Amino acid sequence: MGADYRVFAATFLTVVLSVSAYKPVILLHGIFEPASSMNALQDLVTKAHPGTNVTIIDEYTELFSLYPMWEQVRGFQKTMAPIMQQAKDGVHIICYSQGGLICRGVLESMDDHNVDTFISLSSPLMGQYGDTEYLKYVFPHYLKENLYKVAYTSYGQDISISNYWNDPHHQDLYKENSVFLAVLNNQTAKNDKSKEYKNNFLKLKKLVLIGGPDDGVITPWQSSHFGFYDDNETVVEMKEQEVYQRDYFGLKTMDARGDVTTYEIPGVQHLNWHKNLTVFNDYIEKWLT
């Protein structure tokens, strides 16, 4: 009887712990990447926290990652919704590079999300303004100085990169024509949903911003921390940004709540954030409880 009870209790505990110990984790890949690019991170999570249900969303990979951002947001949201519904204590999301902006879109536009912690892994959260290989691939005839001519048109906005192109010298055009980032940031002239987006965003419990000066792709790299260039191409940090100061989408409120953590990590190039063991051990693992 006693032995039976102990076996029963041990089994019971094992089941309870494996069900409730760690919240499910959802991983979103970066631009041009296959879903398998997130396998290393998935392995790191399951090795550190055995039993964690880690889902890599295999959508809008490689060239499909150039689809318009809102379309991708809707697609990812559809796949994430049932995972969230089954996770009564909520889920964590780790979203890499462009994936971080998709996660912002999901968080702001989904009124019944239950994301506990959003870890943004070197994402251009305030947009991008820089010449990169990615840009050359998509717009071979444009440099950053004149990309606004195509990015801020209706056909330009059919390509993901243009949706978060943030030209500090053409802010009027950006605010008028960016159908994604300027809307998420409530920088457009009119945004009927801005209050709703803010409320949804504030349902997030913790925001973790990871980025660093040796990234080499996100430009300025401080965009990963909600900083960005002013019209003089001087970086203005998050707390000095108008969207923060006027709390346009809840960032200031969340920060005042004590729920925004920023990590500046040197020595990591863009393609290594989701594969680097020390980045995972020192800055990611502790949030995945």
Ligand X SMILES: *[C@@H]1O[C@H](CO)[C@@H](O)[C@H](O)[C@H]1NC(C)=O
Least distance to ligand X, CB of residue 15, Å? 12
Judged by CB under 6 A, the stretch of 68-76, 105-113, 253-261, 272-280 that binds ligand X is: 272-280
Nearest approach in angstroms of CB 19 to ligand X is 9
Cα distance between residue 84 and residue 191, in whole Å: 27
Q: Which stretch binds ligand X (CB under 6 A): 37-45, 106-114, 175-183, 278-286?
A: 278-286
Closest CA to 165 of 229, 236, 245: 229
Q: Is 112 marked active-site?
A: no
Q: Is 217 in the site for ligand X (CB under 6 A)?
A: no
Binding mask of the shown chain, residues 184 to 213, with x at each position contacting ligand X by CB under 6 A: --x----x--xx--x---------------
Task: Enter the tokens of residue 239.
Answer: 């707390």
CB-nearer residue toward ligand X: 91 or 161: 91
Residue 95's DSSP bridge partners are 28, 120
CB of 56 to ligand X, least distance (A): 11
- Quick check: is 109 catalytic? no
Has 97 been annotated as catalytic? yes
Q: Is 252 in the site for ligand X (CB under 6 A)?
A: no
Closest CA to 184 of 72, 100, 104, 129: 104
From the list 29, 37, 92, 97, the catalytic residue is 97
- 253 sits near ligand X (criterion: CB under 6 A): no
Q: How far is CA 193 from the centre of its chain?
A: 20
Closest approach, Cβ 139 to ligand X, in A, equals 27
What's the sign of the alpha-carbon dihedral 14, 286, 94, 191? positive
Separation between Cα atoms, residue 55 and residue 71, nearest integer Å: 20
Helices (H), the chain: 2-20, 39-48, 69-86, 98-109, 133-138, 148-151, 160-163, 171-177, 181-184, 194-202, 242-245, 251-256, 277-279
Q: Tokens at residue 55, please?
A: 């889902």
- Among residues 97, 135, 248, 252, which is the contact residue for ligand X, using CB under 6 A? 248
**φ/ψ (deg, to 5) at 229:** -70, 145
Shortest gap between Cβ of 162 and ligand X (angstroms)? 22
Asked if 232 touches ligand X (CB under 6 A), the answer is yes
**Rule CB under 6 A: which residues touch ligand X?**
24, 53, 83, 86, 186, 191, 194-195, 198, 232, 234, 248, 265, 267-268, 272, 276, 278-279, 282
Active site residues: 97, 215, 270
